Homo-oligomer: A and B are copies of this chain.
């Protein structure tokens, strides 16, 4: 049987469930730390596991360029390569070709581009993207699509979405089914309800193991993102997981869970950690700030990560000021743990039928002075 999803409970629009994959089960709603180039930046795989993370994301674009998908395949796949033995989701490469590569040229069949690392020429098509993700041994393969830029006219968004739907069908044919593995389709259509409906119907017609909402978190703002979800998630099958790509802040995630999203990934906790920012139950702390210089209290009194258990804000402030690698290491660890605790708390609340109250309590904490 391919990858599957069991819905355990709903509370309003929010859902709690379980993903069943080749490399283990994943309780949802879930946040997937981003392991761009075969590593969640600044963390060992053991540390990532210790945060409670059950699934991580890998980037096809980065891995195809370095060390190369065939090489990862020969070395036994991405799980073995990066010592992550739980499930892995890989993106299709499409988004990063558009945001990172040089001299890209798109045609109806795919994209030709130059590597941002060494200028070498590469080509991605729906079939090649699926093949790369197979070589990486991704539990969840994403359809190759064009992430429609924002803003886009209705005509641009329609044209882009229809190309992605064609590519989704080609990807489905190229995908090699294996037990516990699955392929997700990606709903496009920008902020246009009719296009999202057309896209969802097209994908459901093809049939996927899960459905992602793409083309959001690209500058449209939280209000437009939430209103797009309001008319998009009801279009999706209830017996399949729903994944909101590239989202987001804790507040974004709570709002999207309320609107029926099960899966998230975002570089915010890792990138913020490297920039000296900590997500806490009392809001976001900028650890460069001099007010932390002699503060003996932990980042977050509610957190059980090593940064909070073993160290003061004063120490972490010192590490960031001194540009010591341990600063980003501890803040990344803390932020990923914060995100995992947030998701566990949301899931429990959904199971207990008190999601709205819990969401309100979490948001109230952010306004309490740290």
Contacts and interface: CB of A to CB of B under 8 A. Distances in A.
A40 to B, nearest CB: 8
A210 B319 CA distance: 32
Nearest to A82: B315
A45 B310 contact: yes
Contacts of A322: 37-38, 62, 66
A97 interface: no
B324 A75 contact: no
A107 interface: no
A67 B293 contact: yes
B42 A315 contact: no
A83 B298 CA distance: 13
A60 to B, nearest CB: 15
Contacts of A325: 41-42, 325, 328-329
A128 interface: no
Contacts of A296: 75-76
A45 B43 CA distance: 15
A330 interface: yes
A239 interface: no
B39 A319 contact: yes
B44 A321 contact: no
B315 A81 contact: yes
Contact of A41 (B74, B293, B326): B326
B43 A326 contact: yes
Contacts of A39: 319, 324, 326
A330 B37 contact: no
Contacts of A326: 39, 41-44
Contact of A306 (B46, B310, B330): B46
Nearest to A74: B294
Given A37-B324, A71-B293, A322-B37, A81 B312 contact: yes
A82 B312 CA distance: 9
Per CB-CB distance, the 7 closest pairs between chain A and chain B, nearest first, are A83-B310, A42-B325, A39-B326, A67-B318, A37-B322, A39-B324, A75-B314
A122 to B, nearest CB: 17
A363 interface: no
Contacts of A312: 75, 81
Contacts of A81: 312, 314-315, 318
A7 to B, nearest CB: 35
A311 interface: yes
Interface in A51-89: 62, 66-67, 71, 74-76, 81-83
A294 B312 CA distance: 42
A121 B34 CA distance: 44
Contacts of A83: 310-311, 315
Contacts of A75: 294, 296, 312, 314-315
